[in-house]
């Protein structure tokens, strides 16, 4: 098991050091093969009419990518995000993708110069993180090292909306990405997928409103790894944590991470008991969410008050 975890943690190095990664967007399983090699693919039809060559072109690559099962599988996020150069096989074409751009087989650069490799650089998260001294790059663009959480939360949201066959892979399929983020942005590492040592407030993750959470008993309930469903961090939480919405106060209201042991963690912070008084009002507006979630009525069967 330790060897397996060690190898999974190395996936960021494997993808990052590969000369090129071959990706198959089609197929429902690992043995489906590559279109045009293992199985037949759609051909590009050409006709010459009145000295004019007319040809069909494949569907736009981005649309094929969006519709592919590959883009919804949890395990494939790492190969797509961490590979410096990729040959991507779809049902109708092959595309070359790198940190600088993308060229599609279905379009001829000589005919359509605007699609040349250097014309549309990909200002992606990974491109920024692969740059020398990535934290300085982040500070240069955004002016605050806490925005590292934006990178992390964005990747986590993308990952947790994807599907996996085995619930036990909840953390394993993201280990390569976590190793990459530790090396580039979070040197203190992660605890069950959360950067608790440097960002204890990351415990305040929540599921998106459209998610249907399902418990994964193998993992702790306080981590996103212990649940199925898209995970988000409230925007107000991130702003408060980096001080942009912090209140003037002499008391340290931050949560502090102390220790961890297997599925248990020890944190230090303030606990406040609140009594809800509804008189003379009978409704309570709950606003501490990404969006207002409605009204809470005292006499509602779903309401519990002290």
Rounded to 5 degrees, φ, ψ at 100 are -100, -20
Q: What is the DSSP string of 229-258?
A: S-EE--HHHHHHHTTTTPPP-SS----EEE
pLDDT of residue 97: 86
pLDDT of residue 245: 46
Residue 161 DSSP one-character state: T
Alpha carbons 51 and 162: distance in angstroms, whole number: 49
> Residue 26 is encoded by which pair of tokens?
């089609």
Rounded to 5 degrees, φ, ψ at 184 are -100, -35
pLDDT of residue 134: 53
- Residue 103 near residue 114 (C-beta atoms within 8 A): no
Q: How far is CA 224 from CA 39, 198, 207, in A?
A: 39, 17, 9
Q: How far is CA 150 from CA 30, 134, 181, in A?
A: 32, 14, 12
* Helix residue ranges, H only, the chain: 2-9, 11-17, 61-67, 76-82, 125-130, 134-142, 148-160, 175-184, 235-241
Question: Taking the CA of residue 183 as centre, how many other CA atoms within 13 Å lie in the half-sphere pointing to its CB?
Answer: 18
pLDDT of residue 222: 95
Q: Which of 12, 243, 234, 236 is nearest to 145 (CA)?
A: 243
pLDDT of residue 112: 57
For residue 48, give the 3-state DSSP assignment.
Answer: strand
List the beta bridge partners of residue 24.
89
Place of tokens 């072109």: 57
- Residue 184 near residue 214 (C-beta atoms within 8 A): no
> Residue 204 is encoded by which pair of tokens?
């305040």
pLDDT of residue 106: 66
Across the chain, which has 306 residues, the per-10-residue mean pLDDT values are: 88 92 86 82 84 84 87 92 90 84 71 50 52 53 63 91 94 94 88 91 90 94 96 76 53 80 87 69 52 48 45
For residue 60, give the 3-state DSSP assignment.
Answer: coil
Q: Which of 83, 42, 93 is nearest to 63 (CA)?
A: 93
Model pTM?
0.76
pLDDT of residue 162: 95
Alpha carbons 184 and 135: distance in angstroms, whole number: 7
Contacts of 20 (CB under 8 A, 6+ apart): 83, 85, 86, 87
């Amino acid at each position: 098991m330790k060897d397996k975890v060690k190898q999974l943690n190395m996936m960021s190095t494997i993808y990052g050091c590969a000369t090129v990664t071959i990706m198959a967007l089609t197929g429902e399983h690992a043995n489906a093969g590559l279109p045009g090699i293992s199985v037949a693919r759609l051909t590009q039809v050409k006709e010459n009419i009145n000295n004019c060559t007319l040809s069909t072109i494949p569907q736009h690559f981005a649309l094929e990518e969006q519709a592919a099962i590959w883009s919804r599988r949890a395990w494939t996020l790492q190969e797509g995000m961490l590979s410096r150069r990729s040959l991507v096989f779809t049902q109708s074409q092959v595309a070359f993708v790198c940190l600088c751009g993308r060229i599609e087989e279905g379009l001829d650069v000589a005919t359509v110069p605007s699609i040349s490799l250097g014309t549309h650089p990909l200002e992606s998260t990974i491109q920024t993180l692969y740059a020398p001294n990535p934290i300085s790059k982040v500070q240069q663009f955004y002016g605050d090292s806490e925005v590292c959480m934006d990178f992390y939360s964005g990747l986590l949201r993308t990952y947790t909306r994807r599907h996996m066959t085995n619930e036990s892979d909840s953390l394993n399929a993201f280990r390569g990405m976590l190793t990459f983020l530790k090396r580039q942005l979070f040197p203190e590492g992660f605890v069950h997928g959360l950067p608790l040592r440097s960002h204890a407030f990351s415990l305040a993750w929540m599921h998106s409103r459209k998610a249907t959470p399902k418990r994964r008993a193998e993992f702790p309930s306080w981590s996103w790894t212990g649940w199925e469903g898209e995970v988000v961090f409230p925007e107000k939480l991130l702003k408060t944590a980096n001080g942009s919405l912090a209140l003037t106060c002499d008391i340290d209201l931050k949560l502090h991470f102390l220790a961890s042991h297997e599925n248990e963690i020890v944190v230090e912070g303030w606990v406040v008991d609140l009594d809800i008084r509804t008189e003379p009002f009978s409704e309570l507006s709950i606003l501490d969410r990404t969006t207002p979630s409605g009204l809470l009525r005292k006499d509602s069967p779903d309401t519990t008050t002290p």
